Amino acid sequence: MIFLKKLMISLLTVTVFSGCANNVYAKEIREDIRIKTAKYTNDITIESIEKAFKKNGFIITGNNNMNLAFEKRFQGGEDYKDYRLMFVYNPKIMTKLLKNYPKAGLLAPLSTSVYSKEGKIINISSLTLIGMSRISGIPKTNKDLIELRDTMTQALKDALPNGKDKELSYKKVRPDGEILTKFKFIIRSDSNDMEEVKENYQEMLEGEIESNGFIVAGFNPINEDLIASGVKNYDYYDSYSICKLEVIYPVHKTHPEVGALAPCTMYMYKQKNDKYTYMAYPSVYNWIMTTNIEDDYSLVPLIDAQNLLETTIDNINE
């Protein structure tokens, strides 16, 4: 690529982080995901659900009809009458969190799945306070994280006025791999224009991950909101929504609620007082531990995708 002549990326460290608890008794219930469920009515539509989230300060950064994608790619898409991956972003709350917690970008946007098996019952899955805290490392007692949870709760109530919380029975299990994949590196370039340096790198990144079958389902220039709110300590801060159809298709058949973790939200940022660029995304081991995925039909593409995305980014940063 032409950018390789101008752009030298030095990978200094690639680290991983695990927020898993120690081994616990299987009878304990994991509470990382919640599902709001309600009877379908004429008043509940995709538009009305989006309106409910917007009313509560969220921006809809993506709302993808996955059945159409499944039908085109796999001649499938008939497992659910409706299956959507919708990702939502609350700039007011997230900018407050990002002042002190750079990893909060893992929640910007938040992913949800909106699905109905036969068109009679509609469900919306999302992360709980515990789930958001575990992924981001922000204490669950943090008032801004609690506000994000409460705002999400109200949006779900407004979206499904007669809805109830579905009782879940996920067991707490320790995954085989780390739950967060992190990269720390220096982008070296002849240019002193930080925005140009970042955009050159991102163009190369997007090209490589898409050539390996991943889809960039969304891009969120978070630094614009940070600057508007008075937070100016980042040279850049962006987030990506990344998915792979070969992963979500088999998993959604038995675990439609996994959309609370898909697409993966990956952040990329550099602080003004730091020479390093940081990137991270929640690994597929979140899916496995959070929803107790055990079947090979789902596991194999999950692990393959995790290894491929990690290797792809490593190769870019060599």
Least confident piece of the model among 14-18, 88-92, 145-149: 14-18
List, as one string, the DSSP characters of the chain: -THHHHEEEEEEEEEEE--PPPP--TTSBP-SEEEEEEE--TT--HHHHHHHHHHTT-EEEEEEEHHHHHHHHHS---S-SEEEEEEEE-HHHHHHHHTT-GGGGGGSSEEEEEEESSSSEEEEEEE-HHHHHHHH---TT-HHHHHHHHHHHHHHHHHSTT-EEPP--PBP---SS-SEEEEEEEEEES---HHHHHHHHHHHHHHHHHHTT-EEEEEE-HHHHHHHTT---EEEEEEEEEE-HHHHHHHHHH-GGGGGS-SEEEEEEEETT-S-EEEEEE-THHHHHHHT---HHHHHHHHHHHHHHHHHHHHHT-
User: pLDDT band at 175, cuts 50/70/90?
Assistant: low
CATH of residue 302: 3.30.310.70
pLDDT tens per residue, range 85-106: 999 999 999 999 999 999 999 9
pLDDT tens per residue, range 19-44: 333 333 334 567 899 999 999 998 99
pLDDT at 14: 38
Counting the structural domains of the chain, the total is 1
Give the CA angle between residues 62, 219, 234 to the nearest 5°: 135
Range of the domain at 75: 3-316
Q: What is the mean pLDDT of residues 68-83?
A: 94
Is residue 200 predicted with pLDDT exceeding 60?
Answer: yes
Do 314 and 180 meet the contact criterion of CB atoms below 8 Å apart?
A: no
Other C-beta atoms closer than 10 Å to the C-beta of 245 total 17
